[in-house]
Amino acid sequence: MKNADYDNLNFRYFSNPMDFMLMGLFEWRDSTESDKSTATFEKLQKALTAIDRQHCLCQVYREDHSLVEIAENRLQDVPSDDVINTLTEKKLIGDCVVHLGVELGISIGDIKETMHNFPKDLNGQINDLLVKWKNWEKSDRTKPTIYRLMVTLKRIKSAAGLAFVKKAYGVE
């Protein structure tokens, strides 16, 4: 990655290191593949070694199954608009726009579009991602469920958001 590209990423995502790292990976993947080359972990590892950076991408991600115990039938419903809106209005999610989008299964193109359409409006970005996710009929993604939203909130470490959703749906 050229220094100017790195500086641009840093300028746009400096406030959230997770967003910076994820967007950096997406930019690297896109630039590699636009050169008709396949982006592989081996290439990424060589690049990180060349700049004397240690990586932790090969760590095994162990799924937290604590929410599976409460995955009742009613949690397979689509979350209500009121819940989606309250998560945004009460600022219960945080500042992890890219991480939220990735965990919800939204494409990087849609995440970038949201960030472009709502510059400097964190709540607008979060709400837009949640609405895009909820309107799953228009995409090939899996059905958005209350359970899936809870798993996402847990993964992005949104304790306030998770607590709200649990309370809204009577989950203990």
Largest Cα–Cα distance of the chain, in whole Å? Answer: 52
Q: How confident is the model at residue 124 (pLDDT cuts 50, 70, 90)?
A: very high
pLDDT of residue 60: 46
Q: Which one is predicted more confidently, 51 or 162?
A: 162
Helix crossing, 122-134 with 108-117: angle to 10°?
140
Q: Does the pTM exceed 0.75?
A: no
Q: What are phi and psi of 31, to 5 degrees?
A: -70, -35
**Does any domain span residue 19?**
yes
CA gap 29, 40 in Å, rounded: 8
Mean pLDDT of 22-48: 78
The verdict on 74 and 21 lying in the same domain is no
Cβ pair 61, 128 in contact under 8 A:
no
Q: What is the pLDDT of residues 70-93, one digit of tens each?
A: 666 778 889 999 999 999 999 999
What is the distance in angstroms between the CA of the first residue and the CA of the last residue of the chain?
47
Asked, for residue 63, whether it belongs to a domain, the answer is no
Total domains in the fold of the chain:
2
Distance CA 6, CA 8 (A): 5
- Centre a 10 Å sphere on the Cβ of residue 168 and count the other Cβ atoms it contains: 15
Same domain? 46 vs 75: no
Please check whether residues 77 and 26 belong to one and the same domain: no
The whole domain housing 122 covers 68-168
Domain CATH number, residue 150:
1.10.533.10
Whether residue 11 is contained in a domain is answered as yes
d(CA 75, CA 161) in angstroms, rounded, equals 16
Q: How far apart are CA 150 and CA 145, in angstroms?
A: 9
- The predicted model gives 100-117 an average pLDDT of 91
